[in-house]
Amino acid sequence: MNIGVISTRLAGTDGVSLESAKIVAIAEQFGHEVFYCAGELDLELKNRGLEDGRLHFENEVAKELHDRAFVEKETAVTLLPDIEKRAAVLIPPLRQFLTENQIEYVIIQNTFAIPMQLPLAQALAELMAELNLPGLAHNHDFYWERPRFLHSQIEPFLDQFFPPDLPGLRHATINSLAQTALRQRRGLDSLIIPNVFDFHTPPPGIDAFNTDFRQAIGLKPDDWLILQPTRVIPRKGIELSIELLHQLNDPRAKLVITHKAGDEGPEYLHELQALAKAKNVALIYAGDAVDDQRRMDGRQKIYSLWDAYPHADLVTYPSFIEGFGNALIETVYFKLPAMVNRYPVYAADIGPLGFQFAEIDGEITPATVEIVRGWLEMPETAVPITTHNYALGQQYFSYQTLAQLLALLFR
């Protein structure tokens, strides 16, 4: 059948775009044809559907309506008519996408979960109801999980469309906590679709392009590359990674941040740099050398995140809050040891499966430091652990796991 994937953005390496691509890979394995509709599409997707900037969460009108709802906290009486008016503008291009590509089933990626594009959710819900179109709402971040959306004067609207209750629409959440909350708040059942990796394909290693990655970011041959493969925002808890290196107190230990800072402003990066300096920790910000894909920028190499993993000795994942933990499963895939903070979803859905990490509960303990030191000084001692974790990844977070879930839906 013809499947339409609809979102505000299907581009880059954000979690929604990455997990959407994995679902598409499985759908195509089943023989379905997939088309795309979003405010922004990756280059290779542009000729397979509709790219319309009006659907993007950064669209000027969408941002204005968002700010009126959640910053100015405007009343529903004056705000909802304008959202409805804008939704009416978005319905025709959505209808055209569905009609021209003869879409029989839709996968709505997060548009019914996070209220960044208020009129798009209303437009989609009304159009699906009108056409009696079946589909799956893949919900990554619900509005009640983000403090900035909790206080507004349009809560009935949010409860109507984020997500909507439609006859042919099934819901998926990415963890059991969200699944429970959706049932309690809205009375909607959902299946859990965890983040997955192609565990049956070995991870890439060191090759001709990335062989000089360590040297390029200023490491010496005997340095320990301790990888922080996350965005630079406060909920990632990167100060705990700095504290780990402070307590390791070994000049070989270098903390490498791979993602660009700025999603929520540069202040947090500046705080981390000041903290690292105060604690005599070598912090390397490699965001300018690492991007979505490897390439040459003039004479300078730009590496991908997957160029960094094969060079890492340890991964730090000290997040306080995560929807699931894509980078943690990525760490398992690359067979690396890791220090992990027991954030709620990890404690509920990942840790109980038997994964073996150096776990912390919001603070670095001497026991954690000694576990990590042992892995760094004698890497062979981590091999049984990373091999064990990889086997669990194959069992619980593989493409085969995703295929079994989707087979039931598409049938």
Q: How many domains does the chain have?
A: 2
The reply to whether 181 and 259 lie within a common domain is no
pTM of the complete model:
0.89
* Domain-located, residue 402: no
> Please, which residues have CB within 8 angstroms of residue 115's CB and are 6 or more apart in sequence?
66, 69, 70, 121, 143, 149, 158, 162
**53 and 19 within one domain:** yes
Strand partners, 307: none
Q: Could you tell me the CATH number of the domain that includes residue 172? A: 3.40.50
Among residues 130, 164, 193, the one where a domain terminates is: 193
Mean per-residue pLDDT, 157-167: 97
Q: Tell me, yes or no, whether 175 lies in a domain.
A: yes
Q: Which of 84-88, 180-184, 262-266, 344-348 has the lowest mean pLDDT?
A: 262-266
In a shared domain, residues 92 and 174: yes
Residue 265 is assigned to a structural domain of this protein = yes
String of b and e for 15-32 (b: at least 16 CB within 10 Å)? bbbebbebbbebbeeeeb
Instruction: Give whole-number Cα distances, 219 to 252, 253, 284, 292, 334, in Å.
Output: 9, 10, 9, 22, 21
Task: Kindly report the CATH number assigned to the domain that includes residue 272.
Answer: 3.40.50.2000
Residue pLDDT, tens place only, 304-350: 999 999 999 999 999 999 989 989 999 999 999 999 999 999 999 99
Is residue 12 predicted with pLDDT exceeding 80?
no
pLDDT over 90 at 265, yes or no: no
Whole-number pLDDT of residue 263: 66
Q: How far apart are CA 111 and CA 395, in angstroms?
A: 30
Asked whether residue 320 is assigned to any structural domain, the reply reads yes
Which tokens hold the place of 391? Answer: 């086997």
Beta strands in 270-390 (DSSP E): 282-285, 290-291, 295-297, 300-304, 314-317, 338-341, 358-360
Residue 217 lies in a domain: yes
Instruction: Clarify whether residues 126 and 180 are in a common domain.
Output: yes
| Tens digit of each residue's pLDDT (9 = 90 or more) over 81-107 | 999 999 999 999 999 999 999 999 999
Secondary element (H or E) of residue 327: helix 326-333
In a domain, 235, yes or no: yes
Cβ(376)–Cβ(313) below 8 Å: yes
Structure tokens at 84: 């409805």
The pLDDT of residue 108: 98
pLDDT at 361 over 80: yes
Which has the closest alpha carbon to 134: 1, 314, 281, 24? 1
Structural domain containing residue 21? 2-193
Whether 189 and 217 share a structural domain: no
User: Helix, strand or coil for residue 41?
Assistant: strand
DSSP, collapsed to helix, strand or coil, labels residue 18 as helix
Count other C-beta atoms under 10 Å from residue 248's C-beta.
Answer: 19
Q: Are residues 164 and 74 in the same domain?
A: yes
Helix axes 60-70, 76-100, angle to 10 degrees: 140
pLDDT at 14 over 80: no
- 184, part of any domain: yes
The distance in angstroms from the start CA to the end CA of the chain is 11
Q: What is the pLDDT of residue 398?
A: 94
Domain assignment of residue 205, yes or no: no
Domain limit, last residue, from 161, 193, 225 = 193
The residue type found at 254 is K
Q: Token pair of 369, please?
A: 């430091």
Domain limit, last residue, from 141, 160, 193: 193
Exposed, middle or buried by CB within 10 Å (0-12, 13-18, 19+), for 339? Answer: buried
Both 109 and 241 in one domain: the answer is: no
Q: For residues 308 and 203, is the Cβ–Cβ distance under 8 A? A: no
Contact at 8 Å (CB) between 142 and 177? no
- Judge whether residue 391 has pLDDT over 90: yes
Residue 351 pLDDT > 80: yes
Looking at the predicted structure, is the pLDDT value of residue 187 above 70?
yes
Residues 106-144 pLDDT 10s: 999 999 999 999 999 999 999 999 999 999 999 999 999
How many Cα atoms occupy the beta-carbon half-sphere of 142 within 13 Å? Answer: 25
For 277-289, the pLDDT digits (tens) are 999 999 999 999 9
Instruction: Confirm if 343 and 319 have CB atoms less than 8 A apart.
Output: yes
Can you give 336-349 as a three-state secondary structure string?
CCEEEECCHHHHHH
**286 and 389 fall within a common domain:** yes
**Number of other residues whose CB lies within 10 A of the CB of residue 394:** 17
Judgement on whether residues 232 and 167 belong to the same structural domain of the protein: no
**8 and 103 share one domain:** yes
Claim to verify: residue 135 and residue 228 sit in the same structural domain: no
Mean pLDDT for all residues in the chain:
95
Give yes or no: residues 129 and 227 share one domain.
Answer: no
